[in-house]
Structure 1
Amino acid sequence: MDLTDANATGQHVPTAVHPQNERPTRQISSPVDRDSRVYNMQHQRRGKAYIFNHDLFDASLKLGERVGSKTDVENLERALSQLDFKVSCFHNCDITSVRKNIKQLAEQDHTDNDCVMVIVLSHGMDGKIYTSDSFYHPDELWLPFTSDKCPSLAGKPKLFFIQACQGMKKDAGSTVQYDSSKMDSVATQEYSIPTMADFMIAYSTIPGYVSWRNTENGSWFIEALCEILITYGRQDDLLSMMTMVLLKVATLGRNYSQIPCVVSQLIRRVYFPPKQSSYTSICLASYNLF
């Protein structure tokens, strides 16, 4: 559960060898050159962002209401819409609905999309995420999006954010002081894409520890994430922004501390440049001010 706080540089391409009884590697068109250091974020659309918000639970689970989670949803909708995502919110789904919606998202055609994002806000414990009536393991969220199962997202960022506890430990942190005086291609070349490449999975806390949530401002992690995305989302790459999120969350606590955990299999940098429609809307809005 989450808690409420009180206050390829080489040129050699090896020949694929397919062991007996294993399927050959599927040929998929890559949306970016092999040696590009940046993901192609110039498709027609940014992509879908699904938010699964769980703040009410069946009495049999003996889990408290997650007061403040709706604030997280509002902040996420604002931050992600600003970055041109098409945001869909699902509130208090049961286990069947979560799996159905994830399956439907993975089966969609993402050819014209830059990426995909899934965010879960819920209670959690020891490798489990709770729905309104049951629980599932986090890998059920991203395994349907591997390149062999979702080819239209092959070579594109697949981003997952999980706001939930991973245990019951509380990090009391350590007091730190500082001395203020010291503060001043070859496009046609074939190559293999690992099925688990291009994923980033960000947890609000490390395994075994609780995740803090404020009843008014929402969870520490999501509040920090949205603030950083809104402030730096058009200029910095995603992993640089995640470092800022970690810093903000890590220095936020008083009696207790929290440190998010980012697992990255991204092989390129992720930027969120404005879409043409977004840029045009901004220009028109500015024009109308005069």
Structure 2
Amino acid sequence: MDERHKKILQRNRSNLVKGLDPSNLYDSLLEKGVFTEDMIDEIKSSGTRRDQARQLVRDLETRGSRAFPIFLECLQETGQHSLAELLQDGAPSVHIRPSAPPQVVRPPVKPLPVVSPMDIDKPKVEVVPISPLSPKQKTNTTPTPSPVYTRPRPRRDSIQCYKMDASPCGHCLIINNVEFDPRSELSNRTGSNIDCDKLERRFKALNFIVEVKANLKQRQIKHQLSALSKKDHSQFDCCVVIMLSHGTEVSHSRFPGAVYGVDGQHIPVQYITNYLNGQHCPSLQGKPKLFFIQACGGGEKDTGFEVSPDEVEPSFGGEDDQTDAIPMSSSSDSLSMSDEPDARATLPTPSDILVSYSTFPGYVSWRDTQSGSWYVETLDRILEESASINDLVTMLMMVNHEVSQNSAKGLYKQMPGSFNFLRKLLYFQTQA
């Protein structure tokens, strides 16, 4: 497919996934040679109407140059005019040229000889038909188009995508620490309840069982994580842990950073992830474990660097921006949970884990007391707008980009990031 047509499909993918009725298109696309029967069957088996629409649009981009105009024609024929007009708006005009049937070269017709009655007894001359020309001898013929091959498309239960069709999809634990013990010398985190409410609604919409725990001490955080690891996750496809708290930088061997309990005692992120790894939670082996950390990774403030005006759209935070930073701790608690080899597992212990941080390790994370943190606000919106069409890692990259455009007090910047040990693409369930 031409690059300009691919860009039109990508730009309108969200609307196509929402409004396209693939079932009406299958016969026409098959008849016109855009897809084979096997390809149609795989698209049908990809899941819901939205899943089929998403897969159809993706596969369409891999077909030949005539796929786009034929797709427009099929939309018109099946009454999906609004989508056809949407794709045609601003697109170069396209004309469908039916492939010319191959020209058949026939042998020249020669008149039979006229036989005189006087020659009737003479030996008959046998008329041998002239053989059709071989393909190499044909002239002025239209060559048959070469077949278009496409790589195997990802399936929700394939080697390329995690299975994410259990209902409910899995457990989601949100720990929201807002009010800290005055003796901890940690300020209350005004605005964190806004973050918590957004994420609770969002992950319920993504078909997770959401449990919220507020204002937990360090030992209570450990207790909740231990209880989550002891649940039977065999009927679920995923598990999510969200930490909203103050944070600090600690020494580590795998995942940086730590989050604080309301008593001022911290728990390293590495310790948090270990509860759900392949060794300590067998029923989650091979399944994605997702951790979202809204907390500072340290006390350093990033003032950014100067770029061309064309590369950035300035966005300024409010006067009430606060950080969740605590100075770096050298506590050995970050190594208090050993990572012993798991002889029973066939995958590395930290596999299928993704930890998304609101900020780069060592730097502060900004939170608006009126609208919540930059990271959660952006994450929630990107999930709402893009979960039906994009995988998780792609969406986190979108979050990184948008948060990086913000400025606190017109000066300070923030750069989210993640430690990704997932082995496959992850698509969340979305409501049709």
| Percent of residue pairs identical | 37
8 Å CA contact 2:229, 2:275 repeated in 1: yes
Instruction: Work out the CA distance in 2 between the residues paired with 1:135 and 1:199.
Output: 21
Instruction: Work out the CA distance in 1 between the residues paired with 2:348 and 2:310.
Output: 47
Greater mean deviation of Cα atoms: 250-259 or 235-244: 250-259
Structure 1 residue 179 displacement after superposition: 4.9
TM-score by length of 1: 0.77
**Displacement over 2 Å in runs of 4+:** 174-180
1:269 has 2:425 as partner: yes
Instruction: Work out the CA distance in 1 between the residues paired with 2:261 and 2:310.
Output: 47
Q: Which residue of 2 aligns with 1:8?
A: none
1:54 has 2:153 as partner: no
Q: Aligned pairs, how many?
A: 234
Q: 1:78 aligns with which of 188, 195, 201?
A: 201
Q: Which residue of 1 aligns with 2:214?
A: 91
Map 1:124-203 onto structure 2 (within 5 A).
124-127=247-250, 128-133=258-263, 134-179=265-310, 192-203=346-357
Structure 1 residue 273 displacement after superposition: 2.7
Gaps of 5+ in 1: 1-31, 181-190, 280-290
Greater mean deviation of Cα atoms: 195-204 or 43-52: 43-52
- C-alpha change, 1:117 and 1:103, in structure 2 (3 Å) is same
Equivalent residue of 1:118, what SS? strand
Structure 1 residue 178 displacement after superposition: 4.6
Equivalent residue of 1:136, what SS? strand
Equivalent residue of 2:406, what SS? coil
Task: Output the aligned Cα RMSD.
Answer: 1.7
Q: Which residue identity does 2:415 align to in structure 1?
A: I
Q: Which residue of 1 aligns with 2:93?
A: none
Q: 2:374 aligns with which of 210, 215, 220?
A: 220
Instruction: Work out the CA distance in 2 between the residues paired with 1:146 and 1:57.
Output: 29
Q: Which residue of 2 aligns with 1:121?
A: 244
Q: 2:163 aligns with which of 20, 37, 40?
A: 40
More strand by share: 1
Q: Provide Cα deviations, 1:84-123, integer angstroms capped at 9, x if missing partner.
A: 1111110001112111110010110001111000000111
Instruction: Work out the CA distance in 1 between the residues paired with 2:271 and 2:279.
Output: 15
Q: Greater Rg, structure 1 or structure 2?
A: 2
Q: Which residue of 1 aligns with 2:229?
A: 106
8 Å CA contact 2:207, 2:429 repeated in 1: no
1:67 has 2:190 as partner: yes
Q: Which residue identity does 2:220 align to in structure 1?
A: S
Structure 1 residue 175 displacement after superposition: 3.4
Q: Provide Cα deviations, 1:176-207, integer angstroms capped at 9, x if missing partner.
A: 22559xxxxxxxxxx92112100000111112
Structure 1 residue 79 displacement after superposition: 1.3
Instruction: Work out the CA distance in 2 between the residues paired with 1:179 and 1:148.
Output: 48
1:234 has 2:388 as partner: yes
Instruction: Work out the CA distance in 1 between the residues paired with 2:274 and 2:310.
Output: 47
Instruction: Work out the CA distance in 1 between the residues paired with 2:388 and 2:200.
Output: 16
Instruction: Work out the CA distance in 1 between the residues paired with 2:187 and 2:276.
Output: 32
Gaps of 5+ in 2: 1-155, 251-257, 312-344
1:249 has 2:403 as partner: yes
Structure 1 residue 265 displacement after superposition: 0.1
Q: Which residue identity does 1:156 align to in structure 2?
A: K
Instruction: Work out the CA distance in 2 between the residues paired with 1:152 and 1:44.
Output: 16
Equivalent residue of 1:229, what SS? helix
Instruction: Work out the CA distance in 1 between the residues paired with 2:200 and 2:429.
Output: 18
Q: Which residue identity does 1:147 align to in structure 2?
A: G
Equivalent residue of 2:397, what SS? helix
Instruction: Work out the CA distance in 2 between the residues paired with 1:44 and 1:85.
Output: 8
Instruction: Work out the CA distance in 2 between the residues paired with 1:166 and 1:179.
Output: 30
